[in-house]
Amino acid sequence: MSDEIKRLHAIVHGRVQGVSFRYYTTRKANELDIVGWVHNRKDGTVEVTAEGTQDKLEILEKWLHEGSPHAKVEEIYITWDDATGIFTDFQTIYFTDF
């Protein structure tokens, strides 16, 4: 088990908007004590930036491949980086300027 704090960035493709994907992602992140954000992008994808222990982020990553009950995840692009420590909680972002 790793206590190292990392950052996961994901772009999730498929039927991921209009299926409560952000809600369930926020719920899962809170369950795992992960901080960061999730939002819908204009191109129909969902973007996630999350910070937490490597182990917990790997659980979130695995969950993102399945998503919410009505989602159909087709592809995910994941990048890993060092955590910044700028987040205090996990939020759903409702603007789509990205």
Catalytic residue check, 22: yes
The amino acid present at 5, given as its one-letter code, is I
Which residue of the set 15, 27, 30, 40 is catalytic?
40
CB atoms within 10 A of CB 69: 9
Q: Annotated catalytic residue: which of 15, 22, 27, 30?
A: 22
40 is catalytic: yes
Interatomic CA distance for residues 81 and 69, integer angstroms: 29
Q: Which residues are catalytic?
A: 22, 40
